[in-house]
Amino acid sequence: MKIIRPIRHSDYASLHNVAVESGIGFTSLPVNETLLRSKIARAEDSFRQAIEKPGNQSYLFVMEDLETGDVVGTSGIEATVGMDDAFYHYHCGKVVHFSRELNVHNTVDILTLCNDYTGVSEICTLFLRESAREGLNGKLLSKFRFLFMAEHPERFSDTVIAEMRGVSDDKGESPFWQWLEEHFFSMDFPTADYLTGIGNKVFIAELMPKYPIYVSLLSKEAQAVIGQVHDKTKPALQLLEQEGFSCRGYVDIFDGGPTVEANLQHIRTAQASERLPVKINDAKAGEGKKHYVINTQIEGFRALATTLAVDEQQQCVYLSAAAAEGLNVVDGEPVRFAPAKLRC
C-alpha cells in the first residue's frame, strides 16, 4: 500500500535521491543539501503551525510504500508565492501598430515581465519515481492536494497555480533560454535553473530585459516552444486541465513553459469531495468504488487511494481495516474523499 504523509527530517536521503532522478528543469528540487534540509525543516514547521490565513508556509509531502518503507515520490503546496522574494513570469500579450494614413495594421505578440501571481497558492514539487509509476499512484500524488486544500481552505489562497516544465533536451538545454542567454545572461540554462532553485533570484532583476520582448525577434526555435511543455510533463498538464486548470497567457521566464491556474472552489476533485465519518467494514467497503481519501489532520496527515462505499442514508463511509490503518483513523472519525473517476 502507498500512503502520502508529511515529510520529516529522516527523509533527507530519499528526497536527495528524488532530486537527482528528477533532473534539470525541476527547479523546486535542486541537488543541494543545505536547501533540501531547509525545505524539510520549513515544511515540518508549517505542518505544526496553527493558521488563520495563508502566509509563508510550505507543505511538502512524500509517498511511502508501507511494505518496504521506501519513499517513492514527492508532492508539495506553497501557501503563497512571491511574498518574500519576487515571483516572475512573462505574460503573453499583443500590441497593435496602426497607421490610418498608410493603411497599415499589424498585431504583434509580446512578452512582458510581471509579478501578477504574487500571493497565490502554488502546487509544486510533484515527482514520482520510475519504479512506482503504476496504477493510481501518479494521480493520487497530484489530486490529494486538492482534498487537503478543500479541507483546510484557511491555509491557502483562492487562486491556485502550477508551473509546467517547458521544452528542453536531454542535456537540459532550452531553446527559449538559449536566446535569452545569448543576448542578456551569458549563463546556460542548468546554471540559471539551479540558481533560481536555491533562491538566488537577484540576477533575474539585474539581467532580465526591462521592456517587453517582441516575440518575432526571438529565434524560430524559441518562438516554437512558448507555452509548450516537456514531453514528460504532458500527462501532468492533461490531468490538471481535466481538473479545470487553464493557461491565462503566463509562461516561465526560463523555458517558456505554461503556468496554469484555477480557483480552488472550482477544482473538480475539490468540488466533488465529501466529508463523512468512518465505519470500518471490509465487506461493505469492498462493494464500493475507487476513491482518493485523506484524514482531516495536519501533522498526522495521511492520504491514499482505496475502494470505499458511501452510505448516504447513514451518512457514513465504509473503509476496510487496512485503509483505516493507513489513514490512521478509527470508527467515527471523519475523512474527506473524492471518486477516482469524476463524472463528465
Q: What's the average model confidence in pLDDT over 149-175?
A: 91
266 is catalytic: no
What cell was used for 260?
496554469
Long-range (24+ apart) CB contacts under 8 A made by 94-98 are 95/212
Task: Provide mean pLDDT across the span 153-157.
Answer: 97
* pLDDT above 90: percentage of residues in the chain: 70
* Cα–Cα distance, 194 to 166 (Å, whole number): 15
Give the pLDDT of residue 282: 97
pLDDT higher than threshold 90 for residue 208: no
Q: Is 338 left (phi over 0), alpha (psi -120 to 50) or beta?
A: beta
Position 247 pLDDT exceeds 90 = yes
Listed residue (149, 174, 197) closest to 251, CA to CA: 174
CA 125 to centroid of chain Cα atoms: 6
* Mean confidence (pLDDT) of the chain: 91
Q: Is pLDDT at 189 greater than 80 in this prediction?
A: no
Q: Name the band, by pLDDT with cuts 50, 70 and 90, for residue 344.
A: low
Write out the DSSP string of 241-267: HHHT-EEEEEE-TTT--EEEEEEGGG-
The predicted pLDDT at position 86 comes to 81
In the Cβ-directed half-sphere of 166, how many Cα atoms lie within 13 Å? 24
What DSSP string runs through 106-160? EEEEEEEEE-TTTT-EEEEEEEE-GGG-STTHHHHHHHHHHHHHHH-GGGS-SEE
Q: Please say whether the beta carbons of 289 and 245 come within 8 A.
A: no
Per-residue pLDDT band for 131 (boundaries 50, 70, 90) equals confident
- Which of 97, 230, 266, 291 is catalytic? The answer is 230
Q: Collapsing DSSP states into helix, strand and coil, what is residue 173?
A: coil
pLDDT, one tens digit per residue, over 62-98 is 999 999 999 999 999 999 998 888 888 999 999 998 8
Cβ atoms within 10 Å of 344's Cβ, excluding its own: 5
Task: Give the list of residues 6+ apart from residue 340 with CB closer than 8 angstroms, or none.
Answer: 136, 139, 289, 290, 291, 292, 305
Report DSSP letters for 49-102, one per residue. S--SS--S-EEEEEEEETTT--EEEEEEEES-SSSSS---EEEEEEEEEEETTT
Domains and CATH numbers, the chain: 2-87+116-268 (3.40.630.30), 273-339 (2.40.40.20)
pLDDT at 254: 84
Asked whether the beta carbons of 38 and 89 are under 8 A apart, the reply is no
pLDDT bin (cut points 50, 70, 90) of residue 273 is very high
* Residue 24 predicted with pLDDT over 70: no
* Rg of the chain over all Cα atoms, to the nearest angstrom: 22
The pLDDT of residue 27 is 64
Question: SS3 of 287, please?
Answer: coil
Dump pLDDT digits (tens) for 275-323: 999 999 999 999 999 999 999 999 999 999 999 999 999 999 999 999 9
